[in-house]
Structure 1
Amino acid sequence: MNLHQLRFVREAVRQNFNLTEAAKALYTSQPGVSKAIIELEEELGVDIFTRHGKRIRGLTEPGRAVLKSVELIMQEIDGLKRIGKEFAAQDTGSFTIATTHTQARYTLPKVVQAFTQKYPKVRLSLLQGNPRQVADMVLRDQADLALATEAIADMDGLISIPCYQWEHVLVVPPEHALLRSQTITLEEIAAYPLITYDAAFAGRARIDHAFSLRGLSPDVLLEAIDADVIKTYVELGLGVGLIAGMAFDAERDRNLRAIEVGHLFGTNVSRVALKQGAYLRSYVYTFIELLAPTLNRKLIERLMSGEKDVYEL
């Protein structure tokens, strides 16, 4: 048994059981990959993959157990490599963050600015997607860290750390009738066409749940992943908008007014997600501390080790 065989098994699964694509990804030949997998199966005494002719089609039951062990072994190997690199160079390397548009646009700019000033030699990359996609990017080692509100709290294979809380605001044009309401209600909001986030983004599930509990079905005129798009259409007078509070700036959004509606839709928690068992370079800890000053390296390490009850917002 050797590491090449384990890499080939992992990559075959990642490439949807296409050995040609797995060979390309690993810069080797397809026959070599196939032979190495067969030799590993013979050594283990079980079939890892189901086959149709010469093509592999999926994982057998023992194959799923083998893959789980392979993932753990390869993760440890990757961790050993990162340890070596970190001790060789504490302030250089690459760092990839996967996040949603709202976080990238409104939360991260100041954090990224402070980080790049502290670590100018680190190559920082931002990948965007919906919460499920950014979580998968971390699980597949395409990103070091994910930042989102939904979907990453209880995903297998991830350690999810709460960073900060936020609430929704209702945005309306100046002089809108809702600005005269002393305590705005769901019924008042539902009387107008609603412009808000796509179902996968920025606490939309809380919005839908709140209306549903009251038996209300608001007229959702437009859904978007971008608060700037929502605000643009509100400015045109097409409806009222529900956005994350962090996305409204009174100075920048002079043609709009914001109404706090946290009492209607509750508090949302944005979280950082890290791969379980991952080795974190020192500047990853620094980035998390810049994002959530209540966290520190010692506390993050305890959370990564599985001590879930040592930290709450």
Structure 2
Amino acid sequence: MTLKELRCLLAIVDAELNISAAAEIMHASQPSLSRHLKLLEDELGFQILMRHGRSISGITPAGQEVIRLARRVVNDVASIRAYAANVRGEETGDLVLTTPQTYARHVLPPVLSTLIQRYPRLNVRIQNMGEGAAPERACDNGGDMMLVSTAGDRVPPGVALPLFRWKRMVLVPRGHALARLDRPVALGELARHALVTYESSRRSDSSLCRALSDAGLRARFACSAEDADLIKVYVRAGLGVGLVGELALEPADHQEFVVLPADPALPECVAWAILPTGRVVRDYALDLIQLLAPQLDVDDIRRAVDGSARPAWPRPRLWQSDYEDVGTPVLPSRPISGVTRLPMQTTYLG
């Protein structure tokens, strides 16, 4: 039994039993994944995955337990390697971030630019996820961190670190009837207009639909998208009133559109970083978290990840008031707690 076989198994499971998708994630061929899976099942003496013809139709009861143990083994090996790299002071590696497009386009660029200045040989990989996607399987795919948003007092499952709070803003063309307002747009006014907003807001359990329902109102959607920049395109085309996160607003948007606060009855949203449970976090991932949320303590993060404590996180700061200068973040200087760094020897090939 090899780690490669276990990783191939987990890749298939995380790709919802689609071997083609798993092969793409693993940068391998479908026959290679099938061969590794067969070797693993032959050694165990039973099937992990059920077949229907040439496709995989499900997971056997015994396979469920194998997958659970395999995930633990793969995570433990990754933790040993991460810990060793931290002790050596190694500044290379892959940082895999799973994030909605709003964060990838509007939040991460200046932060990652600062991070790369400290870790010039760091390889950052961005995996896209939809706005409002459920984070229940956060980092199961081997990722280092998932960025998600929730509204109100909802806390995501897993090791979730509150980064900052943000509000939703109303976006209308300058000639629109709402453009004359000098106050937040009331829920009743939003309900009278066709809305252009995130796809997740269409769900009946979304904070937008719940707030309107509590007021005896109902949303009317003209268009929805996963990308805030597409929402702006459709507002520009006159499809309706835009409702976007303030994270996605740029100086040019205030020149082109009238930007108004939404009704305070719409709860604030919180940006969260979700880390894999029980896995040692690389130093560069901790530095990224501190760039996004300098109020968080590194030792508290480590204790939360290894399960030894459930810290009382400080209240996340407001994006608008505390991140106006987000284009020039400062990376804090700190020692790595509990780790004695060894001299690092680097060999350059070629």
CA distance in 1, matches of 2:61, 2:115: 45
Alpha-carbon shift at residue 126 of structure 1 (Å):
1.7
The 3-state SS of whatever aligns with 2:117 is: helix
1:280 corresponds in structure 2 to 281
CA distance in 2, matches of 1:191, 1:25: 53
1:72 corresponds in structure 2 to 72
* C-alpha contact (below 8 Å) 1:50/1:56 kept by paired residues: yes
What amino acid sits opposite 1:114 in the alignment? T
* C-alpha contact (below 8 Å) 2:201/2:207 kept by paired residues: no
* C-alpha contact (below 8 Å) 1:49/1:56 kept by paired residues: yes
CA distance in 1, matches of 2:33, 2:260: 61
1:180 corresponds in structure 2 to 181
Alpha-carbon shift at residue 153 of structure 1 (Å):
4.2
What amino acid sits opposite 1:285 in the alignment? L
* C-alpha contact (below 8 Å) 2:115/2:288 kept by paired residues: yes
Shifted more, 118-127 versus 51-60: the winner is: 51-60
2:325 corresponds in structure 1 to none
Question: For residues 78-105 of structure 1, what are the alpha-carbon distances to aligned partners after superposition, in whole Å with 9 as ceiling and x for unaligned?
Answer: 2223333444452112212111011112
Shifted more, 132-141 versus 104-113: the winner is: 132-141
CA distance in 1, matches of 2:53, 2:174: 69
> Residue 219 and residue 92 in structure 1: after superposition, are their counterparts in 2 closer, same or farther (change >3 A)?
same
* C-alpha contact (below 8 Å) 1:230/1:241 kept by paired residues: yes
**Number of matched pairs:** 304
* C-alpha contact (below 8 Å) 2:207/2:267 kept by paired residues: yes
Alpha-carbon shift at residue 107 of structure 1 (Å):
1.4
Alpha-carbon shift at residue 129 of structure 1 (Å):
1.6
Question: For residues 63-83 of structure 1, what are the alpha-carbon distances to aligned partners after superposition, in whole Å with 9 as ceiling and x for unaligned?
Answer: 322321221122112222333
2:127 corresponds in structure 1 to 127
What amino acid sits opposite 2:235 in the alignment? V
Question: For residues 277-297 of structure 1, what are the alpha-carbon distances to aligned partners after superposition, in whole Å with 9 as ceiling and x for unaligned?
Answer: 112111110010001111131
> Residue 58 and residue 17 in structure 1: after superposition, are their counterparts in 2 closer, same or farther (change >3 A)?
farther
Aligned: 1:209 with 2:210: yes
CA distance in 2, matches of 1:30, 1:229: 39
> Residue 191 and residue 75 in structure 1: after superposition, are their counterparts in 2 closer, same or farther (change >3 A)?
same
* C-alpha contact (below 8 Å) 1:250/1:257 kept by paired residues: no
Aligned: 1:228 with 2:259: no
Alpha-carbon shift at residue 38 of structure 1 (Å):
2.9
The TM-score with structure 2 as length reference comes to: 0.73
CA distance in 1, matches of 2:185, 2:38: 64
Alpha-carbon shift at residue 154 of structure 1 (Å):
3.3
Percent identity of equivalent pairs: 25
Q: What's the RMSD between the two structures over aligned residues? A: 3.5
* C-alpha contact (below 8 Å) 1:193/1:219 kept by paired residues: yes
* C-alpha contact (below 8 Å) 2:150/2:156 kept by paired residues: no
CA distance in 1, matches of 2:31, 2:83: 25
2:145 corresponds in structure 1 to 145
Q: Which runs of 5+ in 2 are unaligned?
A: 316-350
* C-alpha contact (below 8 Å) 2:295/2:314 kept by paired residues: no
What is the 5 A alignment of 1:48-197?
48=48, 58-88=58-88, 90-130=90-130, 131-132=132-133, 136=137, 138-141=139-142, 143-150=143-150, 153-155=155-157, 158-174=158-174, 176-178=176-178, 179-180=180-181, 182=183, 184-197=185-198
CA distance in 2, matches of 1:109, 1:2: 38
What amino acid sits opposite 2:91 in the alignment? D
Question: For residues 38-76 of structure 1, what are the alpha-carbon distances to aligned partners after superposition, in whole Å with 9 as ceiling and x for unaligned?
Answer: 3323xxxx7655567999754333332232122112211
Aligned: 1:38 with 2:42: yes
CA distance in 1, matches of 2:290, 2:140: 22
CA distance in 1, matches of 2:75, 2:226: 33
Shifted more, 7-16 versus 239-248: the winner is: 7-16
Q: Give the number of the structure with larger relative contact order, counting CA–CA contacts within 8 Å between residues 6 or more apart.
A: 2
CA distance in 2, matches of 1:85, 1:245: 37
Alpha-carbon shift at residue 261 of structure 1 (Å):
1.7
What amino acid sits opposite 1:239 in the alignment? G
The TM-score with structure 1 as length reference comes to: 0.81
The 3-state SS of whatever aligns with 2:216 is: coil
CA distance in 1, matches of 2:227, 2:12: 36
2:341 corresponds in structure 1 to none
2:305 corresponds in structure 1 to 304
2:200 corresponds in structure 1 to 199
> Residue 293 and residue 48 in structure 1: after superposition, are their counterparts in 2 closer, same or farther (change >3 A)?
same
> Residue 291 and residue 29 in structure 1: after superposition, are their counterparts in 2 closer, same or farther (change >3 A)?
closer
CA distance in 2, matches of 1:183, 1:52: 56
Shifted more, 2-11 versus 71-80: the winner is: 2-11
The 3-state SS of whatever aligns with 2:90 is: coil
* C-alpha contact (below 8 Å) 1:8/1:36 kept by paired residues: no
CA distance in 2, matches of 1:28, 1:219: 49
Determine which structure has the larger helix proportion and give its number. 1
CA distance in 1, matches of 2:59, 2:238: 54
